[in-house]
Amino acid sequence: MSHLVIGPNWPARIALAGLSLVALVFAITLAVTVGEMPIPLSVAFRALGNGLFDLGYPVSAIQQGVIFEYRLSRALMAALCGGALALSGAILQALLRNPLAEPYILGVSAGASTGAVCVMILGFGGATLGLSGGAFLGSVAALVMVGLLAAGAGGASDRVILAGVAGSQLFNAATATIVTTMASAEQARGVMFWLLGNFGGVRWSDLWVAAPVALLGFLVCMVHAKALDAFAFGADAAASLGIHVTRVRLVLLATTALLTATMVAIVGTVGFVGLVIPHAARFLVGPGHARLLPACLIIGAVFMILADVLSRILVPQQILPIGIVTALVGAPAFALILYRARRPA
Amino acid sequence: MTLATHDVRWGAGGKLIVDGVSLNVEPNRVLGLIGPNGSGKSSLLRLLCRLRKVASGVVTLDGQDIAGVGRRDLARRLAFVEQQATTEIALTVCDVVRLGRTPHRAAFASWSAEDERAVDAALERVGLSERHDQPWHTLSGGERQRVHIARALAQAPRELILDEPTNHLDIQHQLSILGLVRRLGVTCIVALHDLNLASLFCDRIGVLSAGRLVAAGLPEEVLTPALISEVFGVEVTIRLGANGHRHIDYLVDHEPGERP
């Protein structure tokens, strides 16, 4: 049994890819049919056919709108967001050699929030910067700050987590300060909802931003799959295996910042996915990144779609913020993973 | 020709840690580096495999400055075994040894038969072929060090650099690791703490003190009572041991059996 290598085992690879596709399609189908207005599968498929290929089936305008403009874009965005956050978590855990590393805990999400709020409420950058741009700059600022803080504290991997906690607190405080002192009541409500994650406002135009970013991020990560494996025994070990440690770190940290910032800018901050999904994926496919990264993408996507469905049906007449659902599902799942992965001392 | 340093200096935090070391390594021999804690052994080893950049001076490999050699090219030639490198990731023995093939494989290359042979041969050489699928976390300290050496061998190096590979091992495993290193037949540079082990297993010995190379040569030339007293601050006598090897006796100021 070996984990780090994909042999040239094409049948198994194709079977896995097929299985992932089936899971994704199933989750998306569930997401477009379930909700406050249950829509039969046949109608859902016709509406999709109308929206995607302009087939002209007779579907009521309301149902067509709900399926195509509202639920499908929402489900696809959930998939991209879940996949991207899980991917970022896997990358950060490998680079920092810490099982607790993920965008939320390292303050990247908090930084992105601050950046987004600066644009949203303080009006920094005007129209040119935009919400995504502000979130991106904020997340980079958080990464740089956490990195400097961790390096100043000796650079050990537990220090990075502590620095991340400090960074999160600082940026969350900054966000809260801006919101409580500068925002109107309506703005504050919007921001608070956004801070816990919200797929409600997602439109197709958001997908045209998120999808290329997620795809690009995934490809960049896959190119570095072997390099990430080489980090198993630390940076010096990786360097002595011929890895350009500084370059790989820089490229991959920038990639995680881009992935996180893009998703946070669109849906707000969502915790636990980046932490839990990589562990679950490792449990299923082993620690080799050539398999782990695609697994994170798929499992993260399916998980987030299902979490979003839950957020819409858990409380009747209400939609829960997605961050609450991921935490409700994620925390027990994480406890289970910890319990099952415990090592005989 | 193999590794050499020419008046190499390196420091950290404003403190000079390696201070003008010029060293020639002989091919296919074991060079031991000894010296008190903080004398710069680990740092010198990291300069030799370019994990740190020299502040001044040059490290050469076959007469060529290693600063101009690509990272991957260097990793196919030169392998490094850290002291006590471990991981939180659930790897098996062969996963770890396979990492040694990293510099030989392109980004998306599949695992080749040659890679597999290199891994099997490396495990064979360290005597762990049967442990192929064993989880890393269930290995003892000595076994872990062997797996690291196998990983290094899978890189197919001509030079192997080991930083105190016997640290925290019991005496049986210290002897077996160093015996293994001696039998590998590649150029080895190994930092060691134990003077007797250094004298037993190394062809040549370099002595570091406060970042300077204060002596280098055959063990019997270098390890004299005068030098040991000067560098380590302990008094010794040297006698021939039962097996014909030189043995260093530490002189202490209490009688046998005397209790405080």
Q: In the predicted model, is pLDDT for residue A226 greater than 90? A: yes
Residues B123-127, mean pLDDT to the nearest whole number: 92
Rounded to the nearest angstrom, the minimum Cα separation between B171 and chain A is 24
Residue pair B133/B94 in contact (Cβ under 8 Å)? The answer is yes
Q: Which of chain B's residues have a Cβ under 8 Å away from the Cβ of A240?
A: 49, 51, 75, 78-80
B89-111 pLDDT, tens digit per residue, is 889 999 999 999 999 988 777 88
Provide the pLDDT for residue A343.
54
Q: What is the mean pLDDT of chain B?
A: 92
Rounded CA-CA distance B42/B52 in Å is 11
List the single range of A321-335, B65-79, B221-235 with lowest mean pLDDT.
A321-335
Provide the pLDDT for residue A3.
45
* Residues paired with B16 in a beta bridge: B11
Residue B155 at interface with chain A, using a CB cutoff of 8 Å:
yes
Residue B162 at interface with chain A, using a CB cutoff of 8 Å:
no
Provide the pLDDT for residue A345.
39
Map out the domains of chain B as residue ranges: 3-250
List the single range of A4-13, A69-78, A228-237, B240-249 with lowest mean pLDDT.
A4-13
Provide the pLDDT for residue A268.
83
Rounded CA-CA distance A264/B196 in Å is 61
Nearest to B95 among A4, A7, A97 (CB): A4
Residues B103, A241: C-beta atoms closer than 8 Å: yes
Residues B96, A282: C-beta atoms closer than 8 Å: no
Rounded CA-CA distance B198/A295 in Å is 49
Q: Which of chain B's residues have a Cβ under 8 Å away from the Cβ of A225?
A: 107
Provide the pLDDT for residue A337.
67
A287-345 pLDDT, tens digit per residue, is 999 999 999 999 999 999 999 999 988 888 888 888 888 888 878 877 776 776 665 43
A248-293 pLDDT, tens digit per residue, is 998 998 899 889 888 888 888 888 899 889 988 988 888 999 999 9
Rounded to the nearest angstrom, the minimum Cα separation between A273 and chain B is 19
Residues B98, A5: C-beta atoms closer than 8 Å: yes
Residue B76 at interface with chain A, using a CB cutoff of 8 Å:
yes
A18-48 pLDDT, tens digit per residue, is 888 899 999 999 998 888 788 888 888 888 8
**Among residues of chain A, what percentage have pLDDT more than 90?**
31
Residues B119-143, mean pLDDT to the nearest whole number: 93
Instruction: Give the chain B residue whose CA is nearest to the CA of A247.
Output: B71
Instruction: Give the chain B residue whose CA is nearest to the CA of A244.
Output: B71
Nearest to A226 among B71, B85, B105 (CB): B105
**Among residues of chain B, what percentage have pLDDT more than 70?**
100
Provide the pLDDT for residue A154.
66
Q: In the predicted model, is pLDDT for residue B191 greater than 90? A: yes
Q: Which of chain A's residues have a Cβ under 8 Å away from the Cβ of B100?
A: 241
Residues A95-114, mean pLDDT to the nearest whole number: 85
pLDDT band at B134 (very low <50, low <70, confident <90, very high): very high
* Residues paired with B64 in a beta bridge: B61
Q: Which of chain A's residues have a Cβ under 8 Å away from the Cβ of B78?
A: 240
Rounded CA-CA distance A285/B119 in Å is 22
Q: What is the mean pLDDT of chain A?
A: 85
Please name each of the domains of chain A with its CATH number: 10-340 (1.10.3470.10)
Which listed CATH number (3.40.720.10, 3.40.50.300, 3.40.50.720, 3.10.620.30) goes with B3-250? 3.40.50.300
Q: Which residues have C-beta within 8 Å of that of residue A82, sequence separation ≥ 6?
A: A273, A277, A300, A301, A302, A303, A304, A305, A307
pTM of the model: 0.88
Residues A99, B88: C-beta atoms closer than 8 Å: yes
**Among residues of chain A, what percentage have pLDDT more than 70?**
92
Q: Reduced to 3 states, what is the DSSP secondary structure of residue A97?
A: coil
Q: Which helix (H) or strand (E) holds A189?
A: helix A185-195
Nearest to B49 among A226, A229, A240 (CB): A240
